[in-house]
Amino acid sequence: MSVRIIRRDPVHSKQRTAVTLFRTCALALIATFGISHAAHAASAEEIKARGYITVATEDDYTPFEFVADGKNTGYDNDLLALMRKKIGVEVKQQVMPWSGILPGVTTGKYDMALSAVLVTDERRKTFDFASPTCEAITFYATKKGSSIKGPDDLVGKVVGAETGSAMLTDLKLFNEELKKKHGGSGIKQIVEYQSYPEAYQDLALGRVDAVANTQISLNSLVKTRPDTFLIGQPIGKPTYIAWAVKKGNTDVLKMVDAALLELRKSGEMYQLQQKWLGASYKDMPQSVN
């Protein structure tokens, strides 16, 4: 049986509850504002008139986007720094939790999710994607010493993933495959988290048996905490990570694609991939739409 629950980090629970309440209210206001004031995609003329585009970036998703020593850092933030020099207009960035980013793009509050968005068929119904920034595949990670040695060993286990993420979707699809293969037996519980650091903490404490995320992110986790975690095997199919705009927002897409493709041509994107992701992806298609 697959059960969806939300689990909170027990440490500093009062503070976290207050922060969560504040974020929930803030995101509700953002969504309301976006629906009433910016429901359409900005045209090239509008962007030139106002002189900027607005982007939303996640605040806690290593190695793509995170805050360290009060500074926005990671692969996507480094790419943004290079893109600012080439795009021709100012880029106004809002750093925020993942849960508010895609809704903010669909309502028109932000022109683009400048974040590690996994490209899926379902998301293509709502979003168009900029030229991809890297390849991705969903893996699982375990605590060192775990009895889980392969994907089939996830049967009867508790597995976590970030709520609203494509990795959660991959995990659910994989769970259906397990059930077909094992006579209806699958993952015992699928636990949804507001952020991956919470999931990793629960994995370290033994509250979940595994966590599903992209191979790149889990490689970063294991590199940071090699005595605690191990990366497992793939449970999803290869895909790409790309920045997302509202469906039909072709003017913003053209501006961003021109900058990204120039960074590919110069080799600067591949240098950043090697720096942050430990590999370079030179065979990516120019478009994933």
Enter the tokens of residue 89. 């207009």
Does residue 199 contact residue 211 with C-beta atoms inside 8 Å?
A: yes
- Between 17 and 280, the more confident residue is 280
Residue 277 has pLDDT above 60, yes or no: yes
Q: How far apart are CA 14 and CA 12, in angstroms?
A: 6
Q: Find the range with the poorest average confidence among 17-21, 208-212, 224-228.
A: 17-21
Which residue in the block uniquely carries the two structure tokens 């849960």? 99
Residue 166 tokens, joined? 């494509």
pLDDT computed for residue 39 by the predictor: 53
Same fold: 38-136+241-277 with 138-234: yes
pLDDT at res. 3: 40
Q: What is the pLDDT of residue 289?
A: 93
What gap in Å lies between CA 17 and CA 91, rounded to an integer? Answer: 32
On the question of pLDDT at 1 being above 50, the answer is no
How many Cβ atoms are within 10 Å of 235's Cβ, its own excluded?
22
Q: What is the pLDDT of residues 96-115, one digit of tens each?
A: 999 899 999 999 999 999 99
pLDDT of residue 8: 33
* pTM: predicted TM-score of the whole model, two decimal places: 0.68
Please choose, from the candidates 49, 65, 84, 53, the residue with its C-alpha nearest in 3D space to the C-alpha of residue 196.
Answer: 65
Query: Residue 164: how many CB atoms within 10 A of its CB?
Result: 16
pLDDT at residue 179 is higher than 80: yes
Looking at 23-37, 69-83, 244-258, which range is the least confident one? 23-37
Q: pLDDT confidence of 49, banded at 50, 70, 90?
A: confident
Given 3.40.190.10, 3.40.190.80, 3.40.630.10, 2.40.340.10, which CATH number is that of 138-234? 3.40.190.10
Mean pLDDT on 4-25 = 40
d(CA 203, CA 191): 11
Mean pLDDT of 14-21: 42
Residues 77-84, mean pLDDT to the nearest whole number: 95
pLDDT-derived band at 6 (thresholds 50, 70, 90) equals: very low
User: Token pair for residue 68?
Assistant: 């360290």
> Which pLDDT score, from 0 to 100, does residue 240 have?
94
pLDDT of 286 higher than 60: yes
Strand 189-193 relative to strand 4-6: parallel, antiparallel, unpaired? parallel
Residue that has been written with the tokens 């790419």 in this structure:
79
Work out the average pLDDT over 15-43. 46
What are the pLDDT digits (tens) for 232-271? 999 998 899 999 999 999 999 999 999 999 999 999 999 9
What are the tens digits of pLDDT across the range 111-160?
A: 999 999 999 899 999 999 999 999 999 999 999 999 999 999 999 999 99
* 68: phi then psi, degrees, rounded to nearest 5: -130, 125
Domains of the chain by residue range: 38-136+241-277, 138-234
Q: What is the pLDDT of residue 47?
A: 85
Q: Is the pLDDT of residue 181 over 70?
A: yes
Question: Is 38-136+241-277 in CATH node 3.40.190.10?
Answer: yes
Q: Give the pair of three-digit tokens for residue 97.
A: 């939790």
> What does the pLDDT look like over 195-224, one tens digit per residue?
999 999 999 999 999 999 999 889 889 999
Q: What is the 3-state secondary structure (H, E, C) of the chain?
A: CCCEEECCCCCCHHHHHHHHHHHHHHHHHHHHHHHHHCCCCCCHHHHHHHCEEEEEEECEECCCEEEECCEEECHHHHHHHHHHCCCCCEEEEEEECHHHHHHHHHCCCCCEEEEEEECCHHHHCCEEECCCCEEECEEEEEECCCCCCCHHHHCCCEEEEECCCHHHHHHHHHHHHHHHHCCCCCCCEEEEECCHHHHHHHHHHCCCCEEEEEHHHHHHHHHHCCCCEEEEEECCCCEEEEEEEECCCHHHHHHHHHHHHHHHHHCHHHHHHHHHHCCCCCCCCCCCC
Q: What is the mean pLDDT of the chain?
A: 86
